Chain A
Amino acid sequence: MLVMLLSEVNNEKVVKVVAIDTGNIAKQRLLALGIHPNDILQVVSNPSFGPVLIKNLSKDNARIAIGRGIAQKIKVENVN
Chain B
Amino acid sequence: MPELQLGEVSLKKSKSKTSIKSIALVGQPNSGKSTLFNALSDVKVSTANFAGTTVEYKETVINLFGSDVHIIDLPGIYSLNPSEPAEFVTLNYLLDNSIDLIINVIDSTFITRSLELTIELTELGIPMLIALNMTDEAQKKGIDINTEELERLLNVPTVKISALYRKGITELLEKIETQLFISPKTPTQQKFTFHIEQVLNRIKESFEIASQNHIDKRFYTIKVLENPSLIKNKLEITNSNKIKLAIDEIISQHQIPAYEIFESERHHRSMEISHKVTIYAHSSKLTFIDKLDLLFLKPFSGYFFAIFFFATYFFLIFSAGGWIGSLFEQPLSELSKLFEPLKDKTLLGWFIVDGIYQGISGAIGIVLPYFLPLLFLTSILEETGYMARIAYLMDTIFHRIGLHGKSVASFVMGFGCTVPAVYATRIIESKRDRLLASVLINFIPCSARLTVIFALTTALTGPLWTIVIFLYILIAIAVTSKILSTFLPKPIGLIMEIPPLRLPSFKIILKKTYYKILEFFKVAFPFLVLGSLALSILDYFNFTKTMNSLFEPFISNILGLPKELGTPLVFGFLRKELAVFMTSQAFGVNNLSNIPLTIPQVVSFLIFIVFYLPCVSTSAVFWKEFGWKHLLTTVVLGFLLSTISALFFRITLTTIF
Contact = CB atoms under 8 A, between A and B. Distances in A.
Contacts of B500: 63
B497 to A, nearest CB: 6
Contacts, number: 106
B494 interface: yes
B83 A32 contact: yes
Given A31-B263, A32-B83, A26 B396 contact: no
Contact of B259 (A28, A61, A69): A28
Most B Cβ at <10 Å: residue of A24, A36, A68: A36
B118 interface: no
Interface in A1-36: 23-34, 36
B495 A67 contact: yes
B113 A29 contact: no
Given A47-B299, A65-B395, A65-B496, A60 B83 contact: no
B294 interface: yes
Given A31-B267, A36-B264, A26 B495 contact: yes
Contact of B493 (A45, A56, A68): A68
Contacts of B260: 27, 31
B497 A63 contact: yes
B63 interface: no
B113 A51 contact: no
Interface string B494-521: 1111101000000000000000000000
A33 B297 contact: no
Interface residues of B, number: 39
B83 to A, nearest CB: 5
A19 B362 CA distance: 60
Contact of A60 (B110, B294, B396): B110
B392 interface: yes
A64 B495 contact: yes
A45 B299 contact: yes
Nearest to B389: A65
Contacts of A79: none
A56 B110 CA distance: 11
Contact of B110 (A23, A24, A59, A69): A59
A29 B546 CA distance: 58
Main secondary structure of the interface of A (DSSP, over half): mixed
A59 B493 contact: no
B356 interface: no
Interface string A55-80: 01011111111111110000000000
Contacts of A45: 294, 297-299
A42 B257 CA distance: 28
B79 interface: yes
A48 to B, nearest CB: 9
A32 B257 contact: no
Contacts of B299: 45, 47, 49-50
B493 A33 contact: no
Contacts of A28: 81, 83, 259, 263
Contact of A58 (B112, B116, B391): B112
B405 interface: yes
B81 A32 contact: yes
B113 A62 contact: yes
B454 interface: no
B299 to A, nearest CB: 4
B451 interface: no
Interface in B279-299: 284, 294, 297-299
Contacts of A32: 78-79, 81, 83
A49 to B, nearest CB: 5
A33 B78 contact: yes
A65 B260 CA distance: 22
Contacts of A23: 492
B298 A66 contact: no
A66 B396 contact: no
Given A25-B429, A32-B79, A65 B267 contact: no
Contacts of A43: none
A41 interface: no
Contacts of A27: 260
Most A Cβ at <10 Å: residue of B271, B393, B429, B498: B498
Given A32-B78, A34-B113, A47-B299, A66 B264 contact: no
A67 B113 contact: no
A40 interface: no
A63 B107 CA distance: 14
Given A25-B492, A29-B429, A59-B110, A67 B395 contact: yes
B545 interface: no
A11 B579 CA distance: 52
Contacts of B482: none
A70 B493 CA distance: 6
B634 interface: no
A49 B576 CA distance: 39
Nearest to B116: A34
Contacts of B399: 50, 67
Nearest to A49: B396
Nearest to B284: A61
B241 to A, nearest CB: 25
Contacts of B267: 31, 36
A29 B29 CA distance: 14
Given A28-B83, A62-B110, A51 B497 contact: no
Contacts of A62: 110, 113, 497
A58 B79 CA distance: 18
Given A25-B429, A29-B83, A60-B112, A53 B498 contact: yes
7 contacts: A25-B83, A25-B429, A26-B493, A51-B392, A51-B395, A51-B396, A67-B495
Interface of B: 78-79, 81, 83, 109-113, 116, 143, 257, 259-260, 263-264, 267, 271, 284, 294, 297-299, 391-393, 395-396, 399, 405, 429, 492-498, 500
Pairs of residues from A and B, 10 with the lowest C-beta to C-beta distance, nearest first: A67-B493, A50-B396, A34-B113, A67-B494, A32-B79, A70-B493, A32-B78, A69-B493, A59-B113, A63-B498
